Amino acid sequence: MLIDDYDPLKGKRLQILKETGTVIKTLEPQLEEDVLLKAYRTMVLTRAADDKAVKLQRQGRLGAYPPGLGQEASQLGPAMALDKNDWLIWAFREMGALIWKGVPLWRQFLYWMGNEEGNNFPDGIRVTPTSVPVGSQILHAVGISYASKIKKEGSVALVYFGDGGSSEGDFHEGLNMAGVLNTPTVFVCQNNQYAISMRRAKQTASQTIAQKALAYGFEGIQVDGNDLLALYAATKEAVDRARNGEGPTLIESFTYRRGDHTTSDDASRYRPEKEVTEWEKRDPILRFRKYLEKKKLWDDEKEKKLLDEIQDEVERCVAKAEAYHKPSIEDIFKHTYAEMPPELKDQMDRLQQREGSE
């Protein structure tokens, strides 16, 4: 039992895969080879798509974008522990988790290009839309999982948020109700050490974020956020517990944002270069690649082939998003209320007139 053994008050952090690519055999999750290879592909694709999104923003082809460089395992590991009917509720930096859940990559590009249609996911994919208001999605997750419990659906809701999100009222309200109602919710805090320029140490005086779960009456665990195997294993246990009626779990994924907060930010103004280079050495993708190599599942030739394939895939997705029809002015207004209030209607009319006269 990982969660019971990694009591956050004892200052322990779960790690299964070491930086050298070796594993703690007794804790190694038993994943099929094709799942391991798909996981590696997903992380490499995520990094390539993320890098492309930043470049597109610089070329004026995409709006503001939040890069996820260095957080690929932190995003993917938890998502891998979900079944098809489980819900994934995200913030705005979890591209890899969405790819795993089946959200088309081109729709993600489309969203950041400013088209709400990017949030229109195929039927049957239980992923909520992007949530930019920090922390609000935590409440949605608790509500969704409570509904699942009442309806005896057997589905679990997993929600991502950041260390900054853990300071919001929504976090405390959400965790409190999840504890009281014993909901099947898995809270995943991607502690990437910063909320824009605010360091983790200024965010909370608690030693860990995981330990906050204890005050709400359930378990918390801190996991190495650059270790895909540890994240998968801890989340799988949390998901199984939730499904068995044992209630919520808070997982703190201890990781690092190596890029800027968004393309509107310049992280070099508030964080030392040395800190970033230290974290580069803990790169989650490289670590996982070493693991696959030790298992004789990967080599340089396979890597080259994969990179070429992924380059093509990313370009195809960008082309598809760019070819998608532009949203109309009306689209900006029409999805908020069933019946549009007069002041919104007035704004829409004025904008339509202005566009018409240009």
Ligand X SMILES: Cc1ncc(C[n+]2csc(CCOP(=O)(O)OP(=O)(O)O)c2C)c(N)n1
**Among 196, 214, 286, 297, interactor with ligand X by CB under 6 A:** 196
Residue 257 is a catalytic residue: yes
Catalytic residue among 47, 107, 241, 257: 257
- Quick one: tokens of 332? 């900006």
C-beta of 140 vs 261, nearer to ligand X = 261
Binding mask of the shown chain, residues 83 to 102, with x at each position contacting ligand X by CB under 6 A: ----------x---------
Residue 133 binding ligand X, by CB under 6 A: yes
Q: Does 165 participate in binding ligand X (rule CB under 6 A)?
A: yes
For the residues of 27-51, what is the DSSP string, one character each? T-----HHHHHHHHHHHHHHHHHHH
- Select 96 or 247, whichever has its Cβ closest to ligand X: 96
* Contact positions with ligand X (CB under 6 A) in 285-344: none
Cα distance between residue 236 and residue 82, in whole Å: 7
Q: What is the C-alpha to C-alpha distance for residues 272 and 254, in angstroms, rounded to an integer?
A: 19
Q: In the annotation, is 270 catalytic?
A: yes
**138 makes contact with ligand X (CB under 6 A):** no
- Compute the half-sphere exposure of residue 169: CA atoms within 13 Å on the CB side of its CA: 0
How far out from the chain centre does Cα 304 lie?
A: 27
**Part of the chain binding ligand X (CB under 6 A), chosen from 97-105, 112-120, 158-166, 295-303:** 158-166
Strand partners, 189: 161, 252
User: Residue 19: exposed, middle, or buried by beta-carbon count in 10 A (0-12, 13-18, 19+)?
Assistant: middle
Q: Are 95 and 49 in contact (CB under 8 A)?
A: yes
Stretch that binds ligand X, among 20-28, 97-105, 160-168, 283-291 (CB under 6 A): 160-168
Residues 199-228 that bind ligand X (CB under 6 A): none
Q: Which residues are catalytic?
A: 257, 261, 270
| Chain positions contacting ligand X, by CB under 6 A | 93, 132-134, 161-165, 190, 192, 194-196, 257, 261
